[in-house]
Structures are given as structure tokens and as C-alpha cells.
Amino acid sequence: MTLELTTSIPAPRPAARWWRAGAGSLPEVRWAMAATALFAAGGLAQVAGAPAWLWWTLYLACYAAGGWEPGLAGLKALRDRTLDVDLLMVAAAIGAAAIGQVFDGALLIVIFATSGALEAVATKRTEDSVRSLLDLAPDQATRLGEGGEEEVVAAAGLRVGDVILVRPGERIGADGHVLAGASDVDQATITGESLPVDKQAGDEVFAGTVNGTGALRVRVTRPASETVIARIVAMVEQAGATKARTQLFIEKVEQRYSVVMVAATLALFVLPLLWGTPVQDSLLRAMTFMIVASPCAVVLATMPPLLAAIATAGRHGVLVKSAVVMEQLADVTRVAFDKTGTLTEGRPHLAQLRPLPVAGGEAADRLLALAAAAEQGSEHPLGRAIVAAARDRGVPLPAATGFTALPGRGVRARVDGHLVEIGSPVRVLEESAPADVRAVVAELEESGHSAVLMLLDGSPVAVLGLADRMRAGAAGAVARLTGLTGTAPVLLTGDNPRAAALVAGQAGIADVRAGLLPEDKVRAVRELQEGQARVALVGDGVNDAPALATADAGIAMGRAGADLTLDAADAVITRDELNAVPAVLALARRARRLVIANLAIAGTFIAVLVAWDLFGELPLPLGVAGHEGSTVIVGLNGLRLLRDAAWRRAAAAPATKARAAGP
């Protein structure tokens, strides 16, 4: 007898994972955290009355931790004969320390280090999500030989012309066409359709989609590198690499401002020396100029309103990922919506039950009870919707026996002594079916419903119409967005035109583009942009990710959104409330108005103080007081958006008023 000792390695704690593989693994994040901690320690030591050497040491350590990277980046840019705001901020911070304002310089360093860390985190999350998207496609597939023998092979090694077997419940290993078999396939990840699609010989299927209850034989038509799912990955990566980064106002003018400020500072130091001014007086004047002309107030004029708007939006269910995104939202002139899971709830509901004349007077509730009883054993979304409708109406369900799922056709069961069959009209109806039955089916399908036929003992007795249900407030959100942007939204969906038209009509959208694959959505967004529109796209599925990355502002529905979609988006509606979309756009426009007001205040202070220093004798304490005073004023003005009243005002503002506040 032998005793085997096994030891289990505990899974790493969330904090450890965060440091090893999460945001904590990024050097930008670690240096920013170190700089912030040193700044906080220095501030506490200064307030507590500690010796000056102690808090000076802590502040200077903050300079080193948070400033070495932007300083190095600025020097590299200088080597390429360009000046950027990173080097300017480091120089201003050093200048502040040189005249005793070390706290101000350390604060500036912390702001810049934190900004760089947030940008690095956003980049890492997007890259990780793009890699995880490839997991949708299975690693292996069952290839069939010429004699029908089965061989498990790597999906990446499949070649055009190979035949694979896809069993019930498996993910399809390659793009191809069905050779034999019938099943329903959930391809929401590719097309965004809310319902599984019936597949039979000759139909196209996509890698990464989920097979239903039937077995399929599929001939491969594309290599792994050219599948639709692989093209989605490539499009997201390309959009992330080529999409121009919208910059904050101060960054747009940083080159010219940096050159002018550096040249003026050097001139104020060197020229007086030529006229015999003592070095100390000349240096003091130059440092005073650097302090009063440094863009600290301009940076704070821009950031507090945007950050306050981000915080307020976050408290009300909208995660805006950066200040740059808030600026992009303020510029939106056209909104595009996905359908399934965005304008709608993303799952079917029983909308109509139409008894047929041959039902023999059976009541609708009785027919629903029989249908739901037969569907209780089904895993198909339509079947679950029928059962849910019966339970919502309080209809008691009799027992069912002999349940059978018929791949690609429907279900069959015996209920209360009757044989109940429910399935696709195309598969169940024969050519000799009554004209009135075909008319009801055609009417429901033309109106955008999925029609399901119910047979009782072999005779058609009812047609059930199922459809995805609109989200609460969708029509109101569309109307407000129309007034806010001055242009009606557009619907971009991979679903069929009839289902798209049904939802668009309920939401009040006239411009409908249906049957779109992911690359088609990207093309549609670019067409809108070529028409001079600043496009915000609202979506939730993997198939929306490339278009979200391409749009000027991508907004994802958070609860059911795929990981890649959430990371490709610029903002996330965490509560899936569509009314939050016009509210956050209105809030972004108000934040921009405050930014403009703050820039005017900061610019006025800088102009007055600089003119005083150049043409008069500006005392250093007064220059510092004026500089800090302008910083406090613009900071407090921007923080007004932290109040809950700011969100209520944005959510309730009339559309015409919101439009007037736009660009």
C-alpha cells in the first residue's frame, strides 16, 4: 500500500493577479502609484509641521517617480526637433521647485503620471480582449475522410475543401457551407440575430457560432486566417491603430505654446544679463515668468469639468473611459444603433397567438397551454419564450410525454392525449396546406415576426408570432437624440430586413440598414463620417466591436455586452438604460461649455500676469498668488458638474435647448 501525497497550489488572489497580469503589471501604473503615494506623504508631512527637509525630500522623490518617464519622452522628442507638453510640464515643475513652490510642481507631476497610466491601462485591456476573441473559434474540429472516417485535427490546420462534422452543441470550427444535415445555429456573435437560424444543405455557416440540436456536415470555404471571426479581430486592431487620437485643447496647441514659452523664458534670463542685470534678478524674473505662463491653469481649466462629468455620469450608470472620450461625445452629430440587445432586449417574446379556423373553437389560452407543455423540454429560445408567455399569463401546463426534438424542424410531444407538433412553417407545411394558414404565416413574417406553426393531431390549429421586445424608453431616447444632434439616428443591424423594419418603426427610426456583417457596419459608419458626421455607435455584440472602434465615439450596453465590445467602446451604459445616451451627450456638451469658459478665465489671468512681468515689475508672491488663484477659480468652476443636479439637468433638458448648446 502506498500513500500518495498531493499538494494543491492555491489560485492567486485577485490582488496578486492584478499585480502580475492586470493593470498593476504596467510600469506606467506602478510609477504613477508611487508618485501619488509620495505626494500624499509629502503633503501630510507639510501639514503636520514636519521639518522642511522631510517633505521636500518626499516631493522631490515624487518628481523622480512620476516625472522621469514624461521627461525622457520629452527629451526624445527634443532630439527629433519637437517640443511637447510633457517636457514643458516637467520644466515648469522644476521651475516651481526652484523658487520654492515644490508642492505645485509635484501636483503637476502627479496629474501627468496618472493620465499616462490610464492611457496604458486602456491600451492593455483592448489588446487582451482582442486576443480573447480568438477563443470563440474552437481549437479542434472533427474532419471526415473520403471513407467517412473521423479525425480530430487542429481547426487552424483546416484547408478549403475539407469536410468537418459538427455535433449538437459544438462550436463550428470553420466558415463553410452545409453539405448534409439540418439544425439551428446561434450566430449572434457574427450577425447579431437574436434567434438561432435554421440551417440545411447549401446554407452558409461561420466559425465560432454554436450549433443547435442537429448534426451538420460542413465543407470548409475559407482558411482559419480569413474567417469572419478572424476578420473581426483584424478590423478591431486596424481601427485601434489608425483611428486618430482626439486630443484635448491644450495638447493641440502644445507645440507652439511650448516653443514660445521656452524661448520667452530664455530671453528673459539672457537678455537682461547683456544689459548688466545681476544673475539672481534675471533668474528670478525668468522663473516668475515660467510660473505665471505655465499652463497649469489651462490644464486644470480643461480637466476638472471633464473629470467631474465623468464622475457624475458614472454615478448614474454611464462609464466614460477618459476626458478625451467626453470631448468626443460632446462633438457627436449622428447616432447609430445596433438592434438586438441594444434597442431591443435581445431575446424573443410571444407577441401574437393566432388560432386558425380549423382549431375547432379551441380557446387561445388552451392552445397556449398545449404549446407550452410540448415546449417544456426544448432548449430553443423560441420554445423558452412560449413557455415563459404561458407562465406570465398564469396558464396551467398539463404534463407532456414522448417529447422529441426534431433538428431544423421543431418539437413533438403528446399532451392530454393529443399529438402536438410545433415548428418552422417552411419545414412543417406541405404544398397542399390551406391558403388561409399560409396567409397568416405570411402576414406575421411580413410584419417582422418569427412565425411558428402549431399542429394538433396533424392539423394546423394556430400560428404563433414571436419577436424581440423593445427596451423601455427606446422611442423616447431616439426622439431626444434627434433633437439633440439635429439628425435622426440610423439603425445598423445584421438581422433580416423585416425584423429590422418592425423595431425601427416602433423606435421612430427611418434610416434602416439590415443584413450587415461586421465589415458592413464598419463601412456604414465610415460612409456617415465621410458625410461630415461625427458618429456615435451604440451596440453590444462582438459583431459590433469593429464598428465601435471605428466610430468617433463607441457606446456599449454593459450588462450583456461581450468583453471585446466593452473594451472597444469609449463609454459603457452599465444599466442598459437607453435614456442615458442622450443624457450623457447633453452632459458632455455642458462640460465643453465650462471648459471654454475656464479657458477664457485662465487665458485672461495668464495674459495679465505675463504682461505685468514683461512690461512692469511683478512681485513673485503676487505672481504666484495670481497663478494659484486662477487655478483655484477654474478648478471650482469645473467641479460644479459633480452635483447630481448636473445629471438631472442633462437628462431633463429639452432637446431644442441641448441642440443649441452643441457645436
User: In the prediction, which pLDDT does 73 show?
Assistant: 72
Q: Quick one: how far is CA 433 from the chain centroid?
A: 48
CB 323 within 8 A of CB 302: yes
- Catalytic status, residue 468: no
Residue 174: DSSP 8-state: S
User: In the prediction, which pLDDT does 652 show?
Assistant: 79
Pick the catalytic residue: 86, 162, 186, 338? Answer: 338
The strand order across the sheet containing 511-513 reads 318-320, 571-573, 553-557, 535-539, 334-337, 490-492, 511-513
User: In the prediction, which pLDDT does 242 show?
Assistant: 43
User: In the prediction, which pLDDT does 621 show?
Assistant: 59
DSSP string, 366-411: HHHHHHHHHHTT--SHHHHHHHHHHHHTT-----EEEEEEETTTEE
User: In the prediction, which pLDDT does 334 show?
Assistant: 94
Contacts 24+ apart (CB under 8 A), 385-392: 385/347, 385/348, 385/349, 385/350, 385/466, 386/350, 386/422, 386/452, 386/464, 386/466, 388/349, 388/350, 389/349, 389/350
The Cα–Cα gap between 468 and 538 comes to 18
Sign of CA dihedral 24, 25, 31, 37: positive
The Cα–Cα gap between 398 and 414 comes to 10
Query: Taking the chain (663 residues) in consecutive chunks of 10 residues, what is each chunk's mean pLDDT?
Result: 39 56 72 88 88 88 84 73 66 72 76 66 55 62 85 86 87 88 77 71 84 86 77 58 46 65 80 80 74 68 77 80 84 90 83 79 82 85 87 88 79 89 73 74 82 86 86 88 91 85 88 87 92 90 82 82 71 83 92 87 82 74 67 74 82 53 37
User: In the prediction, which pLDDT does 244 show?
Assistant: 38
